[in-house]
Structure 1
Amino acid sequence: MNSGQLQAMLESAWAALPTLLAATPVTLGFALGAMLLGLPLGFLVALARLSRFGALRGLSSVFVSFMRGTPLLVQIFVIYYGLPSLGITLNPVAGGVIALTLNAAAYLSETIRAAILSVPRGQREAATSLGLSAGQTMRLIVLPQAARLALPSLSNTLIGLVKDTSLVSVITVVELLRSAQLVIARTFEPFGPYLAAALIYWVLSSLLEVVQRVLERRFSRGT
């Protein structure tokens, strides 16, 4: 590769940048939406896995095992292309959000479950002896400590979601990667747009890592 070819590739990356930046909010929207929806679902799944009822534990364990043991891309295909055969048709945005949410919930549930279990049992027993109900103990004693412990893993899940949103491009959602592909279809120059997309993913992940470190410092000062 000579300098002229390299310059042409870099120029194509620069030319694609405005189009890719316009699609970046879609990528962030998918990631944040899946995280906001996945957190409460993951919390419920975590509670189900900690339940005294065997059937509830079994069902939640199967859900987590299936979602973590199959590729996210296959899950997207099942939801978007498979459900119509059962009479359930989703638009690309809804299908992508549902797939990302379910996948994220499975991973978040394990993070939340581990954080809850890491809170010393003696604190729960002390809360019970003081007359707190199980709900009050969970809300006032367990969850604040579990949130601090789970924060790094939760942040990593969000960063992973930002990158995983690229998979919804296969169902024609015009997010960051799909936008790069559309540019390539017009220009027939793949290197520049893909490089620009990679740099945007990197910047987004780096910014989220900075936010994660700031939050961790604030939580640690609050302990």
Structure 2
Amino acid sequence: MEVFSLDFALGLLPLMLKYLHVTIFMSVLSLVFGLMIAIIVALIIQTKIKIIYPITKIYVSFFRGTPLIAQLFFLYFGLVQMFPSLKGMDAFTAAVIGLSLNASAYMSETIRGAISSVDKGQMEGALSIGMTYLQAMRRVILPQAARVAMPALSNNFIDIIKGSSLAFTLGVTEIMATAQMEGAAAYRFFEAFTDVIIIYWGIISLLGYLQKKLEIKMSEGY
């Protein structure tokens, strides 16, 4: 058997690309939900709301301090034993929830740091003209913080995409799962995972390019 079969690698690429939409859809959903949670967590930590503040600190510490794959297994295989009602949850949903919670812990710190970088006088000025705290955050602080946070948030999205490759361990059929199955069937793991690397590298390179364009666009007014 030859060391590397180019024909097999090229023939497998179209099959793997058929499941690219699963990876992208999973990643985008995880980004949206993760960002929503991250903003809420960041605001709670920033304002140090009693009772909820220590809970959010533990939340961030837990998801930043444990492996993503362990979190996915805990969510999909572990919690079902404690809450039988979760037995109906499919692997895709579990993967999205796990990726969202994990990403939100990292993004919340990014957003909190970006909010802290905005001059405190901005908030004081907004409050002095009659805005509520939430109005000031939405209209004044967060738009400025978004520009500061954008590079790190883009990197968080890249991490989500790479982390989505672990979804195959739950049974989600996506790029990594296809590589695993086809590679095992033909005993061609080298070619299969070479395709995986090329596909993910291409996706991340494209996102890196779009990130630079977005940063330039957001900096035009400053």
Mark yes or no: TM-score above 0.5: yes
Q: Is the aligned partner of 1:81 residue 2:77?
A: yes
Deviation at 1:217, TM superposition (A): 0.3
Q: SS state of the match for residue 42, structure 1?
A: helix
Deviation at 1:141, TM superposition (A): 1.0
Aligned position for 2:23: 27
**Shift of residue 221, structure 1, vs aligned partner:** 0.2
Q: Which of 58-67 and 8-17 deviates more?
A: 8-17
* Distance in 2 between residues matched to 1:12 and 1:167, nearest whole Å: 24
Corresponding residue number in structure 2 for 1:171? 170
Which deviations, in whole Å up to 9, do the C-alpha atoms of 1:157-209 show, x marking residues without a partner?
Answer: 11111111111111111111101011112211111110011100000000001
Deviation at residue 79 of structure 1 after TM alignment? 0.5
Q: Give the letter aligned to residue 90 of structure 2.
A: N
Misfit runs of 4+, over 4 Å: none
Task: Report 1:43-192 matches (<5 A).
Answer: 43-86=39-82, 87=84, 88-89=86-87, 90-192=89-191
- Alpha-carbon distance in 2 for matches of 1:94, 1:134: 35
Letter in 2 for 1:108: M
Counterpart-to-counterpart distance in 2, 1:107 and 1:136: 25
| 1:169–1:175 Cα contact (<8 Å) kept | yes
Instruction: Answer yes or no: is the 8 Å Cα contact 1:72–1:103 preserved in 2.
Output: yes
TM-score (normalizing by structure 1): 0.94
CA RMSD of aligned residues (A): 1.3
Q: Is the 8 A contact 1:27 1:162 kept in 2?
A: yes
Q: Distance in 1 between matches of 2:54 and 2:181?
A: 44
- Show structure 1 runs of 5+ residues with no match: none
Pairwise CA distance, 1:130: 2.3
Q: Does 1:14 align with 2:13?
A: no
Deviation at 1:72, TM superposition (A): 0.3
Equivalent residue in structure 2 for 1:39, among 35, 39, 49: 35
What's the CA shift string for 1:117-161, capped at 9, x where partnerless? 110101111222222221221111101100100100111011111
What does the per-residue CA deviation read over 1:73-106, in whole Å, with 9 as the maximum and x for residues that have no partner? 0000001100110112221111111100100111
- State the AA in 1 paired with 2:44: A
Aligned residues: 219
**How far, CA to CA, are the matches of 2:131 and 2:124 in structure 1?**
10
CA distance in 2, matches of 1:93, 1:36: 15
Aligned AA for 1:145?
Q
Instruction: Report % sequence identity.
Output: 38
CA distance in 1 between counterparts of 2:137 and 2:215 reads: 22
Show the counterpart of 2:2: 5
